[in-house]
Amino acid sequence: MSLNGKTAIVTGSTSGIGLGVARELSRAGASLVLNSFSDREEDHALAAELAQETGNPVRYIQGDMSKGAECRALIETAGACDILVNNAGIQHVAAIDEFPTEKWDAIIAINMNSAFHTTAAALPMMRKAGWGRVIYVASAHGLTASPYKSAYVTAKHGVVGMTKVVALETAQEPITANAICPGYVYTPLVEAQIPDTMEKYGLSREDAIRDVLLQRQPSKEFSTVEQIGGIAAFLCSAAAEQITGTSISVDGGWTAL
């Protein structure tokens, strides 16, 4: 599979899942646009490093995904968008009657509203090019729920619904829309949680991972960013031309329960 000549934009892609997906698409030949809300030397250096690693063009474009105008500007500044990966997201945990309004608004804006704005801006480009792939990084929480995550669960359910709508609206065009729904994925952010979890529950590293972090993941293993990236690349392949409007769970059996 080659994505030579295709431009891929991945939101929230300077670390974690977003960077993993971006790296796989770049390795497959795509011209890549990395994105985050900051505009640091490190962001542009990361793009240069990834370009050197894969041998394909990589740019960094700043854009605050909590703001609709900046979401659309990201796509417009890129100038082309054959592959759009809506990955940007944040989290906050609290009981619904204690959930801070500003946190609710931010999570809905970044996790769900941004995907609407970027998709709306990208579809005309895809139609003009005669090909497109829209990929939403949703979550197991787009298919099921957990307590204390009202905003995140609401946003991710909304993203799964948006996936279906976009798929139906583009069903007779060479454009597909699909959601990837990971469970717990091993990222630097998750690694940083392990020592605190060990201390809080008085557990070994192995037990903290198995019995606390992966409590709801039957496989008792993390997914990897490489696996999520590989699925994104597959969805851009010819083999996936008739896969649209679906949610692909990568959760070690979580949503099979």
Task: Indicate which residues carry an active-site annotation.
Answer: 152
H or E segment to which residue 108 belongs: helix 101-108
What is the Cα–Cα distance from 156 to 60, expressed in whole angstroms?
26
Three-state SS string across 74-92, please?
A: HHHHHCCCCEEEECCCCCC
Q: Which tokens hold the place of 85? A: 């990966």
Helix 68-78 crosses helix 114-129 at what angle (to 10 degrees)? 30
Nearest-5° Cα angle at 53, 85 to 180: 20
Mutual angle of helices 41-54 and 16-27, in 10-degree steps: 40
**Is 81 exposed, middle or buried (CB count within 10 Å of its CB: 0-12, 13-18, 19+)?**
buried
**Pairing status of strand 83-86 against strand 7-10:** parallel
